[in-house]
């Protein structure tokens, strides 16, 4: 006979929101890269698409950082998650400045870096169990045993 197993518990809402914002950030940066290719290929819609997507990138990066802070405040993720999300808004500002200055030599590689970081962030966050579901660290277990 087969045993009936209960489905795994759903992660907290704040962790689901964090995962969704990480996915949105990666998707927006991918579309931004496609629009950059259109711009470099001199497709007429490329310039307007790239400019519009720049605003979407700013929004996605800001929402992801806000979600990381909210998840940290609720205890769903470690502080490291916020620290890893914090540089992307700075990269976005640098990207905008380099784009307006038409410095493609730095603008394009920084965009590739941002996309790579966003995909790595998405993969890390999707694999991340909530803090309360993780087994205690050996140090915490030893301290709890000494306190008892």
Segment 18-72, tens digit of pLDDT: 999 999 999 999 999 999 999 989 999 999 999 999 999 999 999 999 999 999 9
Could you tell me how many helices (H) and strands (E) the chain has, helices first?
A: 6, 0
Please state, in angstroms and rounded to a whole number, the distance separating the CA atoms of residues 80 and 100.
Answer: 32
Please state, in angstroms and rounded to a whole number, the distance separating the CA atoms of residues 3 and 10.
Answer: 21
The percentage of the chain sitting over the pLDDT mark of 70, rounded to a whole number, equals 81
Q: Look over the chain and give the mean of its residue pLDDT values, rounded to a whole number.
A: 87
DSSP SS3 for 66: helix
- List, for residues 22-32, the tens digit of each pLDDT value: 999 999 999 99
Please state, in angstroms and rounded to a whole number, the distance separating the CA atoms of residues 111 and 107.
Answer: 6
């Amino acid at each position: 006979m087969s045993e009936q197993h209960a489905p795994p518990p759903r992660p907290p809402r704040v962790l689901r929101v964090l995962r969704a914002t990480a996915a949105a950030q990666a998707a927006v940066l991918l579309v931004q890269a496609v629009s950059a290719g259109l711009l470099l290929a001199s497709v007429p819609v490329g310039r307007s698409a790239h400019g519009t997507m720049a605003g979407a990138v700013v929004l996605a990066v800001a929402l992801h950082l806000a979600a990381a802070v909210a998840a940290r405040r609720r205890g769903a993720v470690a502080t490291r998650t916020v620290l890893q999300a914090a540089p992307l808004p700075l990269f976005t500002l640098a990207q905008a400045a380099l784009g307006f200055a038409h410095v493609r030599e730095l603008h394009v590689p920084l965009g590739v870096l941002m996309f790579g970081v966003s995909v790595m962030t998405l993969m890390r966050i999707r694999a991340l169990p909530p803090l309360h579901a993780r087994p205690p660290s050996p140090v915490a277990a030893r301290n709890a045993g000494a306190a008892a």
